[in-house]
């Protein structure tokens, strides 16, 4: 029965209901009660189902939602922080501010540069929450981020059972105090969590997504704390901060105290037709130094085309290509982590949330619509994240320089100036 604690599980109306289970209608006035949307598709006999949350399994007018109130009745475990690292003075200030929000029914934004150590700053507040017998959810909109975070969180809390939920992993669900999941998975919870931490809150598919916002609202308890993490908050979130509707902690300095890599811009011709000489010269340097790198491209179709052109010119340089729809995506990313390949040609799917130590980054067509100002800042943030190599190259190849590219350069320089005021290295 504990699998129903703080959950909303789809069951047929005709199913026998166990004692104590709360039964709610799946639809009210045509609105799906699991996802809050009204995107209906017809079934025979004037029945219907919800299209909006179909990826989590069908919920229809023939179904109801079963749940049990969240009792925080976790099996006895020593839920302590086993992470052996240390925080910088700036990180400790942010971490303490988050601890102070626990139980205060507040929202708190952590606005920290890429590579500031946001994950590590969360460990103390998670530890405090678990010791207070709170239920904690660590969320991200992207599967890649969950896959990368899972071993780090498990190591930091290695005596604490943790459920890791993404995709179609419903069969692996178990009742735990600590949950790591994609934001989509919150559609399966109701009034479950005392603390929610949402990483990369400004990223697709969470940003401007009414269904996922509804999911998070449903999943948190009436009295709860929500922490948002990002290096590039949306305009709406910035305005909320200005109006003091949400608490904010700023950290414009990376954990190793070095500045963010600056965005270099090179003018080139029609790179889809022919790889530019400037790019080829850079690739020769990478080949000579065995330097690992990512190449970001605007379109899915560009990934294979550019990869083939590079592999033809540099057959001894082992690489691959990846995009959101690639069924082998997780394996390719893992190959890059394990240094089995030297480079990946990728879409913006790898713009954030994944770390490859010691890499450089190239961006083809940075002026195109796919790359927003914030996306360019996030992409630049893939570089210099390792204490052993805190610097690196970020170069954008453009056919013309537009305001967006210049704005990204300015944003990085501004954060570096702010970081310098805190004692960061220049």
Of 120-124, 230-234, 379-383, give the lowest mean pLDDT range: 230-234
Both 172 and 315 in one domain: the answer is no
Query: Which uninterrupted H or E stretch holds 228?
Result: strand 220-230
**Rounded average pLDDT over 290-295:** 98
Q: 404: which residues sit within 8 A by CB, 6+ positions away? A: 367, 371, 372, 373, 376
Both 163 and 292 in one domain: the answer is no
**Rounded average pLDDT over 374-385:** 93
* C-alpha span between 269 and 252 (Å, rounded): 35
pLDDT of residue 255: 85
pLDDT per residue as tens digits for the range 195-230: 999 998 887 778 889 999 999 999 999 999 999 999
Position 1 pLDDT exceeds 90: no
pLDDT of residue 207: 80
Both 288 and 311 in one domain: the answer is yes
* C-alpha span between 233 and 252 (Å, rounded): 13
Place of tokens 């922080």: 81
Both 95 and 30 in one domain: the answer is no
Residue 366 tokens read as 């940075």
> How is residue 188 annotated by DSSP?
G
In a domain, 76, yes or no: no
Both 230 and 376 in one domain: the answer is no
Both 336 and 212 in one domain: the answer is no
For residue 267, the SS3 value is strand
pTM: 0.87
Q: What proportion of the chain, given as a percentage, has pLDDT over 70?
A: 98
pLDDT of residue 426: 62
Q: Parallel, antiparallel, or unpaired for β 162-165 and 136-140?
A: unpaired
Radius of gyration of the chain, Cα coordinates, nearest whole angstrom? 23
Number of separate domains in the chain:
3
CATH of the domain at 117: 3.40.50.300
Given 251, 277, 292, the domain boundary residue is: 251
Nearest C-alpha neighbor of 188 from the set 1, 21, 6, 19: 6
Helix H segments across 21-164?
89-101, 118-131, 143-156
Both 104 and 48 in one domain: the answer is no
* C-alpha span between 113 and 418 (Å, rounded): 11
Domain range spanning residue 152? Answer: 89-251
pLDDT of residue 343: 98
pLDDT of residue 69: 94
pLDDT of residue 199: 92
Both 362 and 280 in one domain: the answer is yes
Position 168 pLDDT exceeds 70: no
70-74, 90-94, 170-174, 193-197, range with greatest mean pLDDT: 193-197
Both 53 and 143 in one domain: the answer is no
Both 278 and 321 in one domain: the answer is yes
pLDDT per residue as tens digits for the range 314-373: 999 999 999 989 989 989 999 999 999 999 999 999 998 788 999 999 999 999 999 999
* C-alpha span between 161 and 75 (Å, rounded): 9
Task: Band the pLDDT of 287: cuts 50, 70, 90.
Answer: very high
Task: Band the pLDDT of 274: cuts 50, 70, 90.
Answer: very high
In a domain, 80, yes or no: no
- What's the chain's average pLDDT? 92
In a domain, 83, yes or no: no
Task: Band the pLDDT of 172: cuts 50, 70, 90.
Answer: confident
pLDDT per residue as tens digits for the range 92-148: 999 999 999 987 788 999 998 888 889 999 999 999 999 999 999 999 998 888 988
Q: 422: which residues sit within 8 A by CB, 6+ positions away? A: 90, 252, 253
Query: What angle (nearest 5°) sits at the alpha carbon of residue 36, between those of residues 34 and 39?
Result: 100
Both 208 and 277 in one domain: the answer is no
DSSP states of 279-306 as a string?
HHHHHHHHHHHT--EEEE-SSHHHHHHH
């Amino acid at each position: 029965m504990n699998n129903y604690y703080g959950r909303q599980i789809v069951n047929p109306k005709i199913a026998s209901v166990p004692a104590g289970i709360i039964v709610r209608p799946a639809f009210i006035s045509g609105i799906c009660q699991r996802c809050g949307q009204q995107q209906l598709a017809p079934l025979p006999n004037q029945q219907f189902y919800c299209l909006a949350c179909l990826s989590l399994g069908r919920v229809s007018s023939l179904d109801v939602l079963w749940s049990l109130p969240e009792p925080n009745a976790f099996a006895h475990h020593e839920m302590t922080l086993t992470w052996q690292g240390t925080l910088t003075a700036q990180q400790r200030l942010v971490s303490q501010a988050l601890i102070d929000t626990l139980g205060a029914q507040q929202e708190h934004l952590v606005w920290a540069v890429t590579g500031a150590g946001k994950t590590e700053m969360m460990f103390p507040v998670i530890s405090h929450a678990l010791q207070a017998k709170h239920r904690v959810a660590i969320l991200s909109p992207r599967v890649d981020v969950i896959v990368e975070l899972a071993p780090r969180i498990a190591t930091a809390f290695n005596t604490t059972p943790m459920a890791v939920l993404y995709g179609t992993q419903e069969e692996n669900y178990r009742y735990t105090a600590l949950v790591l999941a994609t934001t989509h998975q919150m559609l399966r919870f109701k009034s479950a969590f005392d603390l929610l931490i949402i990483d990369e809150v400004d990223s697709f598919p969470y940003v401007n997504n009414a269904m996922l916002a509804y999911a998070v609202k449903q999943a948190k308890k009436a009295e709860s704390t929500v922490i948002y993490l990002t290096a590039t908050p949306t305009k709406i979130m910035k305005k909320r901060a200005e109006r003091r509707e949400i608490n904010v902690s700023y950290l414009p300095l990376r954990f190793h105290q070095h500045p963010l890599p600056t965005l270099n811009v090179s003018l080139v011709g029609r790179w889809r037709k022919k790889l530019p000489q400037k790019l080829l010269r850079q690739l020769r340097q990478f080949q000579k130094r065995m330097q690992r790198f990512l190449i970001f491209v605007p379109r899915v179709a560009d990934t294979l085309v550019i990869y083939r052109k590079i592999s033809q010119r540099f057959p001894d340089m082992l690489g691959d290509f990846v995009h959101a729809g690639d069924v082998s995506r997780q394996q390719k990313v893992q190959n890059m982590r394990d240094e089995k390949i030297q480079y990946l040609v990728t879409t913006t799917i790898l713009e954030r949330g994944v770390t490859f130590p010691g890499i450089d980054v190239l961006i083809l067509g940075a002026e195109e619509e796919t790359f927003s100002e914030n996306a360019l800042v996030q992409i630049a943030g893939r570089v210099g994240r390792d204490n052993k190599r805190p610097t690196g190259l970020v170069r954008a190849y453009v056919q013309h320089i537009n305001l967006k590219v210049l704005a990204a350069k300015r944003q990085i320089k501004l954060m570096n100036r702010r970081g310098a005021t805190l004692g960061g290295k220049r």
